Amino acid sequence: MNLFRTLALAGLLTLAPAAFAQQGETFGNTKLSIGINIIHAEVAATSGQREQGLMFRKSLGPNNGMVFLFEKPQSVCMWMRNTLIPLSVAFIGADGKIVNIEEMKAQTDDSHCAKKDVPFALEMNAGWFAQNHLKPGVRVEGLPGVK
């Protein structure tokens, strides 16, 4: 009987992260544009939202993403723990211009960092920026507080 309880508890603990992700943070939405590309982005503005990010998602629409908002420009690094889909991240400066773009493999703990302090990061499906010929220096329109 004791073995059964231990196995049952282990099973519940294994499922807990997925259950939390489905019942966790809710996100607002915004529309961004980069050149001719319109992006439907979920907004991660709180520490809880930024921590959850796109964890446990099984897919992401072709022009859908998540924009991470930070209170002020700062050193920003992303990782992919519990993220089931590969992503690209653009780190964006206070002027709205892309600073650097990093490709991120699913379910890894590798750090992907901005090359300078930034107030924004935008995650999209892996390869999205390259497929749309977007590089550092390109401006992202629609970010809050950027004129």
**Measured between alpha carbons, how far is 40 from 124 in angstroms, rounded to an integer?**
10
Structure tokens at 45: 């503005």
d(CA 121, CA 57): 18
Q: pLDDT digit string (tens) for 51-84?
A: 999 999 999 999 999 999 999 999 999 999 999 9
Sorted by where each starts, the structural domains of the chain and their CATH numbers stand as 26-131 (2.60.120.1140)
The model's pTM is 0.84
Residue 127 CA to residue 78 CA, distance in Å, equals: 16
Q: How far apart are CA 129 and CA 127, in angstroms?
A: 6
At residue 12, does pLDDT exceed 80? no
Q: How confident is the model at residue 13 (pLDDT cuts 50, 70, 90)?
A: very low
